[in-house]
Structure 1
Amino acid sequence: MTEVINDRAPGEMSTTPAEEGLMQSGAGIYTIGLALALLLTATSFWVANTSLLWAFGIPIGLVVLAIAQMGVHLVFFLHITTAPDNTNNVLALAFGIFIVILVIVGSLWIVTDLNENLMPSPGLMDLHMQH
């Protein structure tokens, strides 16, 4: 089995003096992350406002760009890696994503149910409009 030696996030501190020269400075990593985030944001605005793309492809493109944006933030700013010492960070991230999905799905379910149960019938709406 081979061991991966350089499995670190950008900006993660090196462990030996020999690795110090291989790592970029913290400010450099944040600058790269900022540049990528700005590029993805500008691309998202372009995708949303262009007529060059197929209309049904725009939402798909925006979702892909949003996922890429989240990846940039996780790696360059939050330093989430696959290193063994980052297990708690990954578990906390997974739990946070689960809670967000649970809140979104629950909210959509409640709103849909309320919309179906509280909307007046079309006959009642016509009766109200005649008076």
Structure 2
Amino acid sequence: MSEHAYHEAHGHHGDLAPGEEESVNLGSRVLGYVIGLGLALLLTATSFFIANTDLVWQPSIPVALIVLAIAQMGVHLVFFLHITTGPDNTNNVLALAFGLLIVFLVVGGSFWIMSHLNHNMMPMDQLMQMQR
């Protein structure tokens, strides 16, 4: 079987980079973005509502905000970054995971350094007494 016949038989109609889609109707793409925008706005409005209302049990507000933040991250990943479970998204998921690793290393390392500096720095009143 020739390569061209193989690609035709398996639905491949040309060379596509990882993450690229074959010709998709513009209306369906716009509809996906509009649905994602609507969900993101709904989750944002719900977060502000929960933070500023007395209808929710007060100790549960941080947990509710964390759940809504995770849901909003999921909406952004699926609707805007097009991260799905398909086999062609492996590179996208690996790039996202590597980016998150770098961010956590930078932020975590910064907090670690600041914590050790805070612990090892001499308090100001002791420094003033030593200078006298």
User: If the length of structure 1 is used for normalisation, what is the TM-score?
Assistant: 0.70
The aligned amino acid for 1:93 is L
Query: Match for residue 39 of structure 1?
Result: 42
Which aligned runs of 4 or more in structure 1 are off by greater than 3 angstroms?
12-15
Q: In structure 2, what is the Cα distance between the partners aligned to 1:54 and 1:101? A: 32
Distance 1:51 1:97, change over 3 A: same
Count of matched residue positions in the alignment of Structure 1 and Structure 2: 109
The aligned amino acid for 1:40 is L
Per the alignment, in what secondary structure is the counterpart of residue 68 of structure 1? helix
The aligned amino acid for 1:36 is L
The yes-or-no answer on 1:62 pairing with 2:65 is yes
Per the alignment, in what secondary structure is the counterpart of residue 82 of structure 1? coil
The aligned amino acid for 2:53 is T
Q: In structure 2, what is the Cα distance between the partners aligned to 1:42 and 1:93? A: 27
Deviation at 1:48, TM superposition (A): 1.8
The aligned amino acid for 2:102 is I
Distance 1:55 1:28, change over 3 A: same
Within-5 A mapping of 1:101-116: 101-116=104-119
Identity of paired residues, percent?
Answer: 64
In structure 2, the gaps of 5 or more residues are 1-19
Per the alignment, in what secondary structure is the counterpart of residue 25 of structure 1? helix
- Which segment is superposed worse, 49-58 or 78-87? 49-58
Deviation at 1:79, TM superposition (A): 0.5
Which of 83, 86, 103 is residue 83 of structure 1 equivalent to? Answer: 86
Deviation at 1:95, TM superposition (A): 0.8
CA RMSD of aligned residues (A): 2.7
The structure with the larger Rg is: 2
**Which whole-Å deviations, capped at 9, do the CAs of 1:83-120 have from their partners, x for residues lacking one?**
11111001001111111221221122122222222351
**Which whole-Å deviations, capped at 9, do the CAs of 1:8-27 have from their partners, x for residues lacking one?**
xxxx8568xxxx79xx6111
Query: Match for residue 8 of structure 2?
Result: none
The aligned amino acid for 2:77 is L
| Higher relative contact order (Cα pairs below 8 Å, separated by 6+ residues) | 1
- Which segment is superposed worse, 54-63 or 29-38? 54-63
